[in-house]
Structure 1
């Protein structure tokens, strides 16, 4: 799915859709919150209230909206936190900066990107040149990989 432009992105947090159980993601920015379906890329809800767009400083949670209303969602991003960097299915990611400040994401499957040949067990899947990566990692189900930069969330998902 193509990247979704979100200016001033500050964080992301995964949750299961209350009806289908599929991955959805809460995206926070300096000015709003939005919920996106990870498989279709469809925006499911948006709240433009900037006062509610920042996570709580102590718990790093943000109140959900739309299908996540009434749920506290753990946020990873500008203020801290983290997403899963591995899955139970053997996938993992690494964020590397050999040509700082450009950030790169390496995806590996039961391999070692520091020892194995490129394309054998690992792949270079993303290069961020213009924006800062705020968070990168997998959903708790392992079915979605999010790379959230200050400009856009990029989602790789399989149902």
Structure 2
């Protein structure tokens, strides 16, 4: 059997497996807070101190309260010594101005893909360049047939970066034009 035939069979098997997973904008115990339009979005990063998300774009930085989706700080500096593309960090603004925030986006990096509740986010790209993000509860996976129970697809688009906040209570998924935020229900 040649490699191309094996790859095609595996792709078909994976497509059938993923088509069995339902789409649900609000996974169990989670609620979508907002989707914010951000032209030229390049990076995002969660504060490790607060429940705030730093959003970086070609026209500056915004700070968003993840609990309610409210923008609480904004600047219009395109880039400056506050941005470090090599170490993937940015100086915060507003209430987190003294914090160096780890970022993910165009230059790489990553946010946590699992949290302390053992919930995970899994990315697939069957229809590349479109990416699908799946929410998987404790011990589950969309890629293993008998472990798909309660998994759901929460997002489908050209994903720039995604992940949980450092305290595991928020999810952010960014594209080059918007960011969507979810919060865990207490």
TM-score, structure 1 normalization: 0.88
- What is the alpha-carbon distance in structure 2 between the residues aligned to residue 127 and residue 59 of structure 1? 29
Structure 1 unpaired stretches of 5+: none
**Equivalent of residue 155 in structure 2, options 126, 133, 144:** 126
Question: Is residue 112–residue 121 contact of structure 1 (8 Å, CA) maintained in 2?
Answer: no
Which residue number corresponds to residue 13 of structure 1? 45
Alignment coverage as a number of residue pairs: 152
Q: Deviations over 1:57-114 (max 9, x none)?
A: 3321111110111221111111111000111101001111101111110110121211
Bigger radius of gyration among the two? 2
- What's the CA shift for 1:31? 1.3
Q: Residues 119 and 113 (structure 1 numbering): CA distance in 2 closer, same or farther, change over 3 Å?
A: closer
SS of 1:73's equivalent in the other structure is strand
Alignment of 1:1-159 (within 5 A): 1-16=33-48, 21=50, 23-52=51-80, 55-109=83-137, 110-116=139-145, 120-128=149-157, 132-158=158-184
Displaced runs of 4+ in structure 1, greater than 2 A?
Answer: 51-55, 116-119
Q: Deviations over 1:20-61 (max 9, x none)?
A: x4x111000111100000010000100011123973133211
RMSD: 1.9
- Higher helix proportion, which one? 2
- What is the alpha-carbon distance in structure 2 between the residues aligned to residue 2 and residue 14 of structure 1? 16
Structure 2 unpaired stretches of 5+: 1-32
Question: Is residue 6–residue 152 contact of structure 1 (8 Å, CA) maintained in 2?
Answer: yes
Which residue number corresponds to residue 3 of structure 2? none
- What is the alpha-carbon distance in structure 2 between the residues aligned to residue 127 and residue 154 of structure 1? 11
- Higher strand proportion, which one? 1
Question: Is residue 28–residue 54 contact of structure 1 (8 Å, CA) maintained in 2?
Answer: no
